[in-house]
């Protein structure tokens, strides 16, 4: 059985205009209607499929962090820190060999996050699924982009930062553990810089659909989940342009498809909430399966 082809912008537009529409409609659907409909659907709710997570770069004493290029709005910001810091001996596929002197126990390591951050391993993190205290080999649920020696952090503490509007934001103080954050000029501002670079900040946020790259994996998910709504929306625009009486029916089909996508996304959110309840403050729970 052939694997279904994932929908793309081109395939959705072609399917919408297959039975109707002109070359002019096709051009406008690609250059205008598709993006307008995408933005309209995105504003209907806080979509689970538009949620993303990024590791923000930390510099000692710096309270300003750059936002992801596709950032739209924040969900939460969590600061991770701890004493389990070192330099990897090697990285082969998803097996990371920690420092020879690493003394973290198997129980404490398994289930925790592993952050890799250096000039080569910036913005990488995942969860430790197994750990051998003799070989110092940690198997993680991601494949690091780099190998060799990279600074790592296995946090044993975390705190969710409280958002303050920029107008009420307390100016930065001496370095230490941040408690508040604000967003200004495409940056996250912390109320104080961190003591060391061996800390991490995870940002959960909503993606701006207008800034998504067509080749991004999240774009594929959006096109799959919103496919019927986009098709009916484009057909509606084409019928409006042509003065076709079917425009009313197509508009109703568009609204119904958007509502159906919202319900499906709500189911995804409830499922994800069930998973998140296993942890406190964003830290994965230490448990054996």
**Residue 221 and residue 194 share a domain:** no
Say if 288 falls within a structural domain: no
In-domain check, residue 2:
no
Q: How far apart are CA 14 and CA 135, in angstroms?
A: 56
pLDDT of 283 reads 43
Q: Hey, how many other C-beta atoms are within 10 angstroms of the C-beta on 15? A: 16
User: Are residues 193 and 226 both part of a single domain?
Assistant: no
Q: What is the pLDDT of residue 32?
A: 94
The C-alpha atoms of residue 228 and residue 234 are separated, in whole angstroms, by 10
State the residue for tokens 């806080």: 46
* 131 and 88 inside one domain: yes
| Planar angle of CA 115, 120, 126, nearest 5 degrees | 25
Give residue 13's pLDDT band: very low, low, confident or very high (50, 70, 90).
Answer: very high
Query: DSSP E strands: which ranges in 107-242?
Result: 113-116, 124-132, 137-140, 151-154, 157-160, 162-163, 180-184, 187-190, 200-207
Q: Among residues 207, 238, 260, which one ends one of the domains? A: 207
89 & 153 share domain: yes
Q: Provide the whole-model pTM.
A: 0.82
Q: Is residue 153 part of a domain?
A: yes
Same domain, yes or no, for 151 and 183? yes
Q: Is the pLDDT assigned to residue 107 strictly greater than 50?
A: yes
Q: Are residues 259 and 126 in the same domain?
A: no
Based on the domain organization, do 152 and 30 belong to the same domain? no
CA-CA distance, 164 to 161, in Å (whole number)? 10
Q: Residue 175 has what pLDDT?
A: 79
Note whether residue 283 is domain-resident: no
Contacts of residue 268, Cβ cutoff 8 Å, sequence gap at least 6: 48, 49
Do the domain assignments include residue 286? no
In total, how many domains does the chain have? 2
Torsion on CA atoms 95, 98, 104, 108, rounded to nearest 10? -30
CA neighbor of 42 nearest in space, from 276, 191, 210, 214 = 210
Give pLDDT, residue 177.
Answer: 84
Distance CA(96)–CA(30), nearest Å, equals 45
Mean pLDDT of the residues in the chain: 86
For residue 284, is it within any domain? no
Q: How far is CA 152 from the centre of its chain?
A: 21
Residues with Cβ within 8 Å of residue 21, at least 6 apart in sequence: 29, 235, 238
Residues 196 and 98 in one domain: yes
End of a domain among 182, 207, 232?
207
Task: Strands of the chain (E only): list them.
Answer: 51-56, 64-66, 71-81, 84-87, 90-92, 95-97, 113-116, 124-132, 137-140, 151-154, 157-160, 162-163, 180-184, 187-190, 200-207
pLDDT of res. 199: 84
The partner residues of 114 in beta bridges, in order of sequence, read 126
Q: What is the pLDDT of residues 55-82, one digit of tens each?
A: 887 777 778 898 999 999 999 999 998 8
What are the pLDDT digits (tens) for 226-285? 999 999 999 999 999 999 999 999 999 999 999 999 999 977 655 454 433 333 334 444
Note whether residue 3 is domain-resident.
no
Do 60 and 183 have their domain in common?
Answer: yes
- Mark whether 152 and 265 lie in a shared domain: no
Estimate to the nearest angstrom the gap between the alpha carbon of 273 and the chain centroid.
15
User: Are residues 48 and 268 in contact, defined by beta-carbon separation less than 8 angstroms?
Assistant: yes
Q: Which residue has the tokens 């941040």?
A: 178
Tell me whether residue 100 is in a domain: yes
Cβ–Cβ < 8 Å for 199, 59: no
Domain assignment of residue 243, given as a range: 9-49+209-276
193 and 64 together in one domain = yes
Do residue 65 and residue 201 come from a single domain? yes
């Amino acid at each position: 059985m052939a694997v279904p082809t994932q929908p793309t912008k081109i395939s959705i537009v072609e399917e919408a205009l297959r039975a109707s529409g002109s070359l002019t409609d096709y051009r406008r659907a690609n250059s205008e209607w598709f993006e307008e409909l995408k933005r309209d659907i995105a504003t209907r709710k806080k979509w689970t499929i538009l949620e993303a997570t990024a590791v923000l770069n930390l510099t000692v004493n710096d309270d300003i962090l750059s936002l992801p290029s596709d950032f739209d709005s924040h969900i939460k910001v969590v600061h991770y820190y701890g004493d389990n810091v070192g330099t990897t001996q090697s990285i082969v596929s998803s097996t990371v060999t920690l420092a020879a002197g690493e003394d973290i126990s198997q129980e404490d390591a398994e289930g925790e996050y592993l952050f890799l951050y250096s000039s080569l391993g910036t913005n990488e993190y995942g969860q430790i699924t197994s750990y051998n205290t003799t070989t110092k080999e940690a198997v993680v649920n991601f494949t690091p982009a780099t190998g060799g020696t990279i600074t790592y952090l296995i946090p044993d503490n975390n705190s969710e930062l409280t958002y303050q509007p920029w107008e009420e934001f307390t100016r930065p103080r001496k370095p230490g553990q941040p408690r508040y954050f604000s967003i200004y000029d495409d940056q996250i501002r912390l109320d104080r810089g961190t003591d060391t670079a061996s800390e991490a900040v995870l940002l959960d946020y909503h993606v701006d659909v207008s800034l998504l790259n067509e080749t991004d994996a999240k774009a594929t998910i959006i096109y799959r989940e919103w496919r019927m709504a986009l098709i009916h929306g484009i057909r509606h625009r084409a019928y409006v342009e042509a003065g076709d009486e079917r425009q009313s029916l197509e508009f109703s089909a568009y609204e119904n498809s958007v509502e159906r996508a919202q319900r499906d996304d709500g189911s995804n959110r409830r499922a994800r909430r069930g998973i998140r309840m296993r942890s406190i403050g964003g830290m994965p729970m230490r448990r054996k399966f």
